[in-house]
């Protein structure tokens, strides 16, 4: 038995046995009523794994000791949940989980910070309440403008760099930063506060993207459902000669 393993989660669990046969060295087992695939740690052959998975929507978990395989399964499935289904339009989660036209192979290792921020949506909302209170009295548009400016500044470290990210004039960023400083005061000079604010704003951005994905998915489902006419209605129409 290998010392370390990774889980592979597939959007279509029925493909697990076929994929296990293609890999040749895998363990298939049901986990919480869904088939799970465990493979020896493929760090040395990631490209080969991607080739086998090509064309499928799949998420590969992080490397864990064999006795902690459940953790790799859990996070691979979570990453898959955050991935738009094949054929979905763009607007996916920032950091690589985006448009998924023909299936995409995702690795938990590439999205660790995103998964950490989104492991509990309730806590992410609590962070917003804790740190973004100074923006509560603004209009939604004003709040959004200052949020994206503050995050760009925190991520880049300066007004000119933030201006490039936002594609606005540096003077515009400096004006907004003065507004932000009036709202947050000296707290912005505290490294811990800046860290917490950046984490909060990143989480809000990711949650917003996920909610937009869910909204689009719900609309597509309603559109499909609206196009299906109940059999009883069709039968009644024929009886009435309509």
Q: For residue 218, name the pLDDT band (cuts at 50, 70, 90).
A: low
Rounded distance, CA 123 to CA 180, Å? 24
In order of their start, the domains of the chain are: 4-117 (3.30.70), 121-226 (1.10.10)
- Of the listed ranges 13-17, 95-99, 100-104, 120-124, the least confidently predicted one is 95-99
Task: Please name the helix (run of DSSP H) or strand (run of DSSP E) that holds residue 30, with its range, or none.
Answer: strand 27-31
Q: What is the pLDDT of residue 150?
A: 94
Write a three-state SS string for 72-103. Answer: HHHHHHHHHHCCCCCCCCCCCECCCECCCCCC
- pTM > 0.75: no
Q: Can you spell out the DSSP letters for 143-200?
A: HHHHHHHHHHHHHHSSHHHHHHHHTS-HHHHHHHHHHHHHHHGGGGG-HHHHHHHHHH
Residue 80 Cα to chain centre, angstroms? 8
**Which has the closest alpha carbon to 7: 52, 48, 45, 61?**
61
> CB pairs under 8 A, 24+ apart, for 77-83?
77/9, 78/115, 78/119, 79/9, 79/106, 79/108, 79/111, 79/115, 80/9, 80/10, 80/11, 80/106, 82/114, 82/118, 82/210, 83/11, 83/57, 83/59
- For 38-80, the pLDDT digits (tens) are 888 755 578 888 888 888 889 999 999 988 988 999 999 989 8
Q: For residue 221, name the pLDDT band (cuts at 50, 70, 90).
A: low
Please give the residue that has the higher pLDDT: either 111 or 221: 111
- For 80-102, the pLDDT digits (tens) are 888 765 555 444 444 445 444 45
């Amino acid at each position: 038995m290998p010392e370390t393993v990774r889980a592979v989660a597939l959007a279509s669990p029925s493909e697990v046995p076929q994929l296990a046969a293609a890999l040749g060295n895998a363990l298939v087992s049901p986990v919480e009523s869904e088939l799970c695939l465990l493979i020896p740690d493929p760090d040395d052959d990631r490209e080969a794994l991607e080739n086998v998975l090509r064309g499928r929507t799949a998420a590969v978990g992080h490397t864990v000791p064999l006795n902690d395989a459940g953790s790799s399964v859990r996070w691979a499935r979570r990453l898959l949940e955050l991935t738009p289904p094949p054929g979905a339009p763009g607007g996916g989660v920032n950091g690589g989980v985006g448009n998924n036209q023909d299936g995409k192979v995702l690795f938990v290792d590439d999205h660790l910070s995103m998964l950490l921020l989104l492991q509990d949506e309730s806590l992410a909302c609590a962070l917003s309440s804790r740190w973004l209170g100074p923006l509560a009295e603004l209009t939604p548009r004003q709040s959004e403008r200052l949020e994206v400016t503050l995050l760009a500044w925190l991520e880049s470290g300066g007004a000119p760099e933030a201006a490039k990210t936002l594609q606005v004039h540096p003077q515009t960023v400096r004006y907004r930063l003065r507004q932000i400083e009036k709202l947050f005061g000296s707290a912005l000079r505290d490294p811990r506060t800046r860290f917490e604010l950046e984490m909060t704003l990143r989480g809000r951005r990711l949650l917003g993207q996920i909610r937009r994905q869910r909204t689009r998915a719900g609309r597509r489902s309603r559109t499909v459902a609206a196009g299906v006419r109940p059999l009883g209605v069709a039968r009644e129409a024929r009886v009435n000669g309509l």
